[in-house]
Structure 1
Amino acid sequence: MKGSHWFIVGIVIFLLLMFAIECRLPKKFVWNPTFSHYDKQPFGCAVFDSLLSVSLPMGYSLSRETFYQMEQKDTVSCRGILAIANNRMPSEVDVDALLKMAERGNKIMLVSTWFSNKLEDTLKFRNSYSYFSPVALKKYATSLLMKDSLCWIGDSAVYPRQNFYFYPQLCSSYFLTDSLPAKVLAVKNISVNEFRYEADVDSAFSDTITHVPVAMSYQWGKGEIILASTPLLFTNYGVLDGNNATYLFRLLSQMGELSIVRTEAYMEQTAQVQMSPFRYFLSQRPLRWALYLTMLAILLFMLFTARRRQRAIPVIRKPENKSLEFTELIGTLYFQKKDHGDLVRKKYMYFAEELRREIQVDIEEVADDERSFSRIALKTGMNEEEIGVFIRTVRPVIYGGCDISVEQMKRYIDKMNEIISHI
């Protein structure tokens, strides 16, 4: 076997070995919240969406429309609308739109750590905001510290009270208000000092622990507005964290028997960008193997066609004479334009240049006409007076721009050709 063949075999074996090692390496998790339908990382929503799509009896779908667009698009049907974000939402225009939809009978669930001021003023609540740090979550989880508890207290006739346990970094935000004009669905326990600082109250507490709501609902017209301050629970990690998916389904059950639409209009801009075709190919097993087989076929094609081959000898054709074709084209253009005078001018320029080159006569110099006509007659053997009459007749056409007929054009050109032919 030649040395080049051994080199190719070595490269192929190396690539296969690296591919096998890469497949066996543990997957690296990214803990940044995206809430994207395509993200299979802990804080994406690929698993979350797929689970809801097969679990909710009335249907579950995704949309990229804002509340304003939804309100303008459909003013008749009622449905449940779910919006998840990790920052302030929605805008003032969207608040007006979602209030109109709720008044018509839609049920809207907003899940975020921070809501707009207009929504807070309309529904009369405030909420605390805390920054999520993936590093703090990893450090807390590896320290084996106790989790925070969220207690479900809503709809006690349907669901009994139950505690669900999450890491503090996933449920650190909560609502602040003295008297809630809403129905509390879930609460969490925090220290009194923390609550006093967030709520800015100055009252005496006998206990060191108090309850603050993390999920609540408002009746608005014929519909309902549900607020939750724990968006990180509505992710892949939230539905796979032990039995805590029960907490999410209890919240979603507040939508009743309505089909649920999750809007992605309030996510980060980078998370809303759809995946490239190759990412989609790699996410589907049949397409992924089709891509692998295609790459393998290309590699084999390169290996078998890499040997040197005789280059095809090109066929060199004899250059074609395009002069006649060009002449016919120019003649056709002049015939279509009916510009006979310009054609005579072009011919006269060529005629004068021929006389200047062959017999050193410049017929464009009017002062030397007598000498020029005499020399032309001497060289051509033609009548001097006839030559003078012709040149003086054609000059108004050349310099004056006079219009001439086809017959005149032919006569002038034939005469110039006759003079040239006699030189």
Structure 2
Amino acid sequence: MKGSRWFILIMVLFLAVMFLVEYNLPKKFVWNPTFSRHDYQPFGCAVFDDVLASSWPEDYYLSDWTFYNFENDSTDESIAILAVAQRLKFSETDRNAILRLAERGNKVILAATAFSLSDTLGYDMSYTWFRASELKKYVGAVNVRDSLYWLPDSATAYPAAIFEFYPQLCNVYFTKYDSLSIPLAERGSEQSRLKKDSVELSAEVTAAGPVALRRPVGKGEIVLVSTPLLFTNYGMLDKNNAAYIFRLLSSAQDLPLYRTEAYNKSEYEQRSPFRYFLSQPALRWGLYLTVITLVLFMIFTARRRQRPIPVIRQPENKTLEFTELIGTLYFQKKNHADLVRKKFTYFAENLRRGIQVDVEEDGDDALLCRKIANKTGMETEKIATLLARLRPVIKGERNVSEQEMKDYIEGMNEILKRI
């Protein structure tokens, strides 16, 4: 027992030391884009949502509604809807809902590297897939930023400005767009750089293409942004580039803003019920306490336990009880002759084994009596009288009384004692 206690103590100390070491290690960032409201990693949106919730002029909401749900909402209040994802794949129902929302005076802001609206809004885009490993290699080797140029726009009333980002975050742009779409910002080529304090686009600057378009539709508008990674925690905290994000959202600053996560959920997030448990503090702590309780139960029940020793009682002698039961049955039936016959069978067997005399053969009782008398030392006449009286009873020719039964049994017992 002492050895197991020392083992448990050593294991607990080892786990505590490992926990402290892991807790004090530098935290590693995960650069996978999730755009999740619960993700505090660089490309999550927890910080982004907190900043907008505290600084947006109107109300800011997080929602799981699709555009079809927003379009079928019974309220007639104009709103702004923001959808951020790596790629936005809309169904025909979603596309129709987006157009009807904009026609009714709502603002729809879509940030992604690919949309499903090219046939509807008449644009073409370049295509590049984001890889976090390429971003790390580029920052470690080159560490040069590209420029995004904010174009003067009468609708937003913002002056021209320059914002700098790593090229992997803004390398998707619109290669073609129709005359109804208004560019809001363009990406400069890597060879053309402007000083940070410059706010004019000189002739030396070569624009690669717009990265943000504003398309009026009916009473509202649709804003397409090809740089979704800027709408994350990293984009919000990277230098003073938060101003660029607010410029893109400024056309909706007088409306309540809804950010929907209906189009950026992974299959795991949609199916796992633990997502909701972990998102609620009370349920999360309940889950933690359940796991801790199970671990403690496993620790305290893992030690070896001795099984209880069963109590083995000495077998009881039921012979006397059985004899009394049989005797009671015979006494109640008054069948004394049958009892004499069973006693005689036992008597004959003992004589056969003890002195090799078979009294069940009644051919020559005189000879049997002499043999028994020689072996036992009893009188021959007494033995002959007993056998003569027993023969009719054994053959079932006569019945006996209780006293006769006792006399016969005592006579047989006397012979047995002398063998």
TM range (shorter): 0.5 to 0.7
TM-score normalised according to structure 2 size: 0.63
CA distance in 2, matches of 1:277, 1:178: 43
> Secondary structure of the residue that 2:61 maps to in structure 1?
strand
Q: Matches of residues 122-201 of structure 1 in structure 2 within 5 Å? A: 122-155=120-153, 158-177=157-176, 180-190=179-189
CA distance in 2, matches of 1:308, 1:219: 77
Residue matched to 1:230 = 227
Superposed displacement of residue 293, structure 1 = 10
Residue matched to 2:215 = 218
Q: CA deviation digits over 1:145-192, x for unaligned, max 9?
A: 310111122447743322111110100011122764222221111379
Cα pair distance change 1:261/1:288, threshold 3 Å: same
Aligned residue pairs, count? 300
Superposed displacement of residue 274, structure 1 = 7.4
User: Could you tell me which amino acid in structure 2 is paired with residue 221 of structure 1?
Assistant: G
Superposed displacement of residue 142, structure 1 = 0.6
CA distance in 1, matches of 2:160, 2:284: 46
Residue matched to 2:238 = 241
User: Could you tell me which amino acid in structure 1 is paired with residue 48 of structure 2?
Assistant: F
Q: Matches of residues 283-298 of structure 1 in structure 2 within 5 Å? A: 291=288, 295=292
Residue matched to 1:59 = 59
CA contact (8 A) 1:191 1:208 kept: no
CA contact (8 A) 2:85 2:228 kept: yes
> Secondary structure of the residue that 1:122 maps to in structure 2?
helix
Cα pair distance change 1:313/1:71, threshold 3 Å: farther
Superposed displacement of residue 101, structure 1 = 0.8
Q: CA deviation digits over 1:350-376, x for unaligned, max 9?
A: xxxxxxxxxxxxxxxxxxxxxxxxxxx
Over the aligned positions, Cα root-mean-square deviation in angstroms equals 3.5
Unaligned runs of 5+ in 1: 193-205, 315-423
Q: CA deviation digits over 1:301-336, x for unaligned, max 9?
A: 95499585885989xxxxxxxxxxxxxxxxxxxxxx
Superposed displacement of residue 71, structure 1 = 0.9
> Secondary structure of the residue that 1:83 maps to in structure 2?
strand
Residue matched to 1:72 = 72
Superposed displacement of residue 266, structure 1 = 1.6
CA contact (8 A) 1:36 1:271 kept: no
CA distance in 2, matches of 1:60, 1:5: 56
Larger Rg: 2
Matched, 1:253 2:250: yes
CA distance in 2, matches of 1:162, 1:3: 73
CA contact (8 A) 1:125 1:180 kept: no
> Secondary structure of the residue that 1:115 maps to in structure 2?
coil
Superposed displacement of residue 83, structure 1 = 0.9
Unaligned runs of 5+ in 2: 192-202, 312-419
CA contact (8 A) 1:31 1:134 kept: yes
Cα pair distance change 1:26/1:243, threshold 3 Å: same
Residue matched to 2:99 = 99
CA distance in 2, matches of 1:270, 1:259: 29
Cα pair distance change 1:26/1:191, threshold 3 Å: closer
Q: CA deviation digits over 1:61-105, x for unaligned, max 9?
A: 122222122212336221000011212432332121111111111
Residue matched to 2:262 = 265
CA contact (8 A) 1:107 1:225 kept: yes
Residue matched to 1:197 = none
Cα pair distance change 1:294/1:272, threshold 3 Å: closer
User: Could you tell me which amino acid in structure 2 is paired with residue 187 of structure 1?
Assistant: E
Residue matched to 1:406 = none
> Secondary structure of the residue that 1:261 maps to in structure 2?
strand
CA distance in 2, matches of 1:242, 1:275: 36
CA contact (8 A) 1:85 1:267 kept: yes
User: Could you tell me which amino acid in structure 2 is paired with residue 236 of structure 1?
Assistant: N
> Secondary structure of the residue that 2:70 maps to in structure 1?
helix
CA distance in 1, matches of 2:33, 2:275: 23
CA distance in 1, matches of 2:268, 2:221: 28
Q: Matches of residues 269-348 of structure 1 in structure 2 within 5 Å? A: 269-270=266-267, 272-273=269-270, 277=274, 281=278, 291=288, 295=292, 299=296, 302-303=299-300, 308=305
CA distance in 2, matches of 1:153, 1:256: 19
CA contact (8 A) 2:211 2:226 kept: yes
Superposed displacement of residue 284, structure 1 = 5.3
CA contact (8 A) 2:124 2:177 kept: no
Cα pair distance change 1:291/1:120, threshold 3 Å: closer
User: Could you tell me which amino acid in structure 1 is paired with residue 73 of structure 2?
Assistant: K
